[in-house]
Structure 1
Amino acid sequence: MREFDGVMHGLLILGALNWGLAVLNANLITALFGTGMITSLLYGLIGLAGVYALIKLR
């Protein structure tokens, strides 16, 4: 479970960096992975990581 939490935290950090760079009109995820299914999957995983973090706060 500890490894899973680490992956979730990594996804949250990636999402936070991406939101921070949005102020500069930059998109880290599309810069790294382009625009395609992998990018969409990554956005979905970041969203799930956020939900998981909210559940763990309880």
Structure 2
Amino acid sequence: DLLALVERTCDLTLAEIVAHLRAEHGLSVGTTTVWKFLERQGLTFKKRRRTPPSNNART
């Protein structure tokens, strides 16, 4: 089950999920297909900021 895979390994990229589906199940799907499926399931992924924003404003 794809949702169980995502819950078990929460740090997967879309490309890794696509590769898993191809290797384990023989399915050929695109990253957009996987993304839309996860979005419909209510799963969204937010990128974390690695560095804080600059305090300097443009002049």
TM-score normalised by the shorter chain: which range applies? Answer: 0.3 to 0.5
With CA pairs under 8 Å and 6+ residues apart, which has the higher RCO, 1 or 2? 1
- After TM superposition, the score normalised by the length of structure 1 is 0.33
Structure number with the higher helix fraction is 1
- After TM superposition, the score normalised by the length of structure 2 is 0.32
